Amino acid sequence: MQHELLRGVSCVINAEWLRQLLWFKVVSHSLRARRAELLTAPSWSSQASRSGTAAMGMRASRQIFPNWFCILWLPLLLRAISCSPLPATELLPPAALPSGLSQGQTCVGCVLVVSVIEQLAQWHNSTVKAAMERLCNYIPEKLQGFCYVLAEVYGPHIAELIDREMNADVVCHSLKLCKQDPGQPLCHLYPPPKVGLSAAIWKAKKILKNSKDLKRTVGVPSLCAFPLLADLCERIKYVLRSKLPFEDFDGDKFSTFPTLRGYHWRGRDCDDKNTTVYPGRRPDNWDVKSDSNCNGIWGVDPKDGIPYEEKFCKGADSQGVVLLGDSAGAHFHIPPEWMTVTQMSAKSFANLPMAFTDELDWPQFSEITGFLNSTIGGWTDSLYLRLRRRNRCNHRDLQNISQNGGSSRNLLGLIKSLARNQLLDNPAIVIYATIGNDVCNGNRDTLAHMTTPKEMFSNVMQALRYLDSRLPNSSHVILTGLVDGRFLWDNLHNRYHPLGQLNRDVTYSQLYSFLNCLQVSPCSGWLTANETLRNLTSERAEQLSNVLKEIARTQKFSNFDVFYMDFPLKQTAEEWHKMGGEPWQLIEPVDGFHPSQIAAALGTGITWQKALHEWPQVLGKENPFNDQIEAIFKDQGGH
């Protein structure tokens, strides 16, 4: 499942002219200081990343990372997941991709940024210029170059128009960052000015028509065209497409680095120089001399000479957990304080670099693979944490193989990043959960672009056959049904979005309408005032869920059994109501689309109880040595 608001910002700061300005204003100073190192560093192609030569290159990258790596990573990431189709959509024929996508996202991003600037000036009773400087100062130093360049190029024009009481829609249309296609409506987030939106835009364009600065922002080469950065760009693009760790010296698909598809997404590697050491494998010689599976348990008990791994983990039904999913499973989240000026500060944006290098996802807090205490509200509870408590030998055996925009169609490509050796590794519990994108798209004829039941059956069966060729025997697969997204409109449409809370002028209904007009809505079928269309979308979602249910009932595989469960939205809402909560709190406040941190944690408990009572064999037995493991090995090496 995708989000368009920040994707729109992405396209604004990913313009070709901005890359060039960033090169001269931000990157070049650091590169000159490291030029000799870069010229002698080896190529970082995807093939070389699996060799010792690549390891040398990666070590060089660590030395220059604080200075400019984020600056380079950010535009490439945003280009991959925002302005151009998601990497997974490259698997689809061109006809399946919506037209004009980046143009609409650029418009959303512009309206968002201008709105925040305007509200900052209002809240702090300052000039617009001071508000832009304040916003740039909030952003971490590694990324401030983007903000300063935007402020330099667009700032004077934004300030002039805001000072003339023109709203964000008018400003962005006059800057040509929002465009009206022939025969299409004039899209806007805010109520039109009294003189009319078209008249206001004409007046604003007349004010700006003699601007020379805006005419110089075309025809500049890409940042990646520079020879010094070409190889690094290719390596980053490879990571974005493959969903494999950027920093993986031994090529075992596990990393010691948290983001860039590192250990936030899959168990932390405990030896990144040895391809035979990684989370989830069966122990090598009972790990007498070293920890081959990274669960923190190794060595020999001096009292009886029995290896600890054999004593505590033999016959313990050790297994890992793997999620195959979309942005809900990856736990897409945009902190509301990023656009709520009454809460905005430098502290609000401290996690911005990490968020971008995790693709605006937070898998470390997610419902299936979360393992860290939440810092984004709510609390963390996950299937992985419960499996680890049930059997301490399961430590670090997790993989979150999800992507923003994941569906049954593009998951066939994503699944190839699974790290599991059928002969050497422990079995796994695989959660297949693409809960919305098979019915969600931003097209005006949204029903025509939904996955059909026949396509769903074919897509899922292909994925399951692939899993059967990769998963160790005695694994399990749980197919999760699609969500009933009518819950979103019913509980949010008349509430104020974070962007509209200061002046009480932007509701979720307005936001949804704006995104639908631009054809960049994450789900035109559910995020709409058209009740008939919402019902038809849910009807198709139920049909696709029934396909999954029938597969679980009738299909057999050699290396795993298959189960089905409905997406537990209704039970989650009931549980939250008992705790005194409101339904809208179960939805991400910024995008108005994804499950919140609270919903994820509550959903874990519901899933666990269902498995415990109906499929206890899936969870395995409780390890009687858990207390001894904890006493001897403490946190088993940490995460």
3-state secondary structure 413-442: HHHHHCCCCCCCECCEEEEEECCCCCCCCC
In the predicted structure, residue 312 carries a pLDDT above the cut 50: yes
* Residue 12 backbone dihedrals phi, psi, to 5 degrees: -60, -50
Both tokens assigned to 187: 């899209």
Identify whether 327 is a catalytic site residue: yes
In the predicted structure, residue 289 carries a pLDDT above the cut 90: yes
Cα distance between residue 423 and residue 420, in whole Å: 9
Cα distance between residue 69 and residue 65, in whole Å: 5
Provide the pLDDT confidence category of residue 152 given band limits of 50, 70 and 90: confident
Amino acid sitting at position 17: W
Calculate ∠ Cα 127-131-136, nearest 5°. Answer: 150
Q: Which pLDDT value is given to residue 329?
A: 97
| Higher-scoring residue by pLDDT: 489, 106 | 489
In the predicted structure, residue 98 carries a pLDDT above the cut 50: no
Bridge partners, residue 266, by sequence: 399
174, 327, 402, 509: which one is catalytic? Answer: 327
Greatest alpha-carbon pair distance for the chain in Å reads 88
Which sign, positive or negative, has the C-alpha torsion 341, 345, 348, 349?
Answer: positive
Least reliable range by pLDDT among 41-50, 66-75, 235-244, 500-509: 41-50
Q: Which pLDDT value is given to residue 10?
A: 41
**Residue whose token pair is 């601007």:** 211
Q: What is the pLDDT of residues 568-597, one digit of tens each?
A: 999 999 999 999 999 999 999 999 999 999
Q: Which pLDDT value is given to residue 632?
A: 97
Q: What is the pLDDT of residues 419-451, one digit of tens each?
A: 999 999 999 999 999 999 999 999 999 999 999
Which residue in 263, 441, 374 sits closest to 600, CA to CA? 374
Give mean pLDDT, residues 60-68: 39
Provide the pLDDT confidence category of residue 231 given band limits of 50, 70 and 90: confident
Which residue in 406, 208, 219 sits closest to 325, CA to CA? 406
* Residue 277 backbone dihedrals phi, psi, to 5 degrees: -115, 120
Provide the pLDDT confidence category of residue 122 given band limits of 50, 70 and 90: very high
pTM: 0.87
Cα distance between residue 287 and residue 271, in whole Å: 14
Contact 4, 105 (CB under 8 A): yes
Cα distance between residue 213 and residue 190, in whole Å: 27
Q: Which pLDDT value is given to residue 145?
A: 80
Cα distance between residue 343 and residue 138, in whole Å: 12
Contact 307, 288 (CB under 8 A): yes
* Strand pairing report for 475-480 and 560-565: parallel
Which residue in 36, 637, 30 sits closest to 393, CA to CA? 637
In the predicted structure, residue 93 carries a pLDDT above the cut 90: no
Provide the pLDDT confidence category of residue 11 given band limits of 50, 70 and 90: very low
b/e code 172-193 from CB counts within 10 Å (16+ = b)? bbbbebbbeeeeeeebbbbebb
Cα distance between residue 352 and residue 356, in whole Å: 6
Q: Which pLDDT value is given to residue 233?
A: 79
For residue 169, give the DSSP letter.
H
Give mean pLDDT, residues 131-145: 90
What DSSP assignment string belongs to 547-567? HHHHHHHH---SSEEEEEE--
* Strand pairing report for 320-325 and 398-402: parallel
Both tokens assigned to 558: 């050699």
In the predicted structure, residue 65 carries a pLDDT above the cut 60: no
Contact 163, 140 (CB under 8 A): no
Q: Is residue 325 classed as helix, strand or coil in its secondary structure?
A: strand
In the predicted structure, residue 541 carries a pLDDT above the cut 70: yes
Both tokens assigned to 277: 């050491």
Provide the pLDDT confidence category of residue 41 given band limits of 50, 70 and 90: very low
Element (H, E) at 323: strand 320-325
Q: Which pLDDT value is given to residue 154?
A: 86
Cα distance between residue 361 and residue 351, in whole Å: 12
Which residue in 511, 504, 473, 506 sits closest to 489, CA to CA? 511
In the predicted structure, residue 99 carries a pLDDT above the cut 60: no
Q: Which pLDDT value is given to residue 340?
A: 96
| Higher-scoring residue by pLDDT: 502, 223 | 502
Both tokens assigned to 367: 């419902």
Q: What is the pLDDT of residues 460-479, one digit of tens each?
A: 999 999 999 999 999 999 99
Give mean pLDDT, residues 18-23: 39
Cα distance between residue 238 and residue 54, in whole Å: 14
Contact 97, 89 (CB under 8 A): yes
Contact 217, 176 (CB under 8 A): no
Helices (H) and strands (E) in the chain, counts: 24, 5
Q: Indicate the burial class of 238 (C-beta count within 10 angstroms; 0-12, 13-18, 19 or more).
A: middle
Distance of CA 328 to the CA centre of its chain: 8
Provide the pLDDT confidence category of residue 262 given band limits of 50, 70 and 90: very high
Helix boundaries (H) for 415-530? 453-468, 486-492, 508-517
* Residue 91 backbone dihedrals phi, psi, to 5 degrees: -80, -15
Give mean pLDDT, residues 506-524: 96
Residue 569's Cβ-side half-sphere holds a number of Cα atoms within 13 Å equal to 21
Helix boundaries (H) for 286-395? 308-313, 327-330, 352-357, 383-390
Give mean pLDDT, residues 4-27: 41
Q: Which pLDDT value is given to residue 235?
A: 79
In the predicted structure, residue 63 carries a pLDDT above the cut 70: no
**Residue whose token pair is 């949204």:** 446
Give mean pLDDT, residues 295-303: 97
Least reliable range by pLDDT among 45-49, 71-75, 209-213, 599-603: 45-49
Contact 557, 473 (CB under 8 A): no
Q: What is the mean pLDDT of the chain?
A: 85
Which sign, positive or negative, has the C-alpha torsion 122, 126, 132, 134?
Answer: negative
In the predicted structure, residue 76 carries a pLDDT above the cut 70: no
* Strand pairing report for 560-565 and 428-433: unpaired
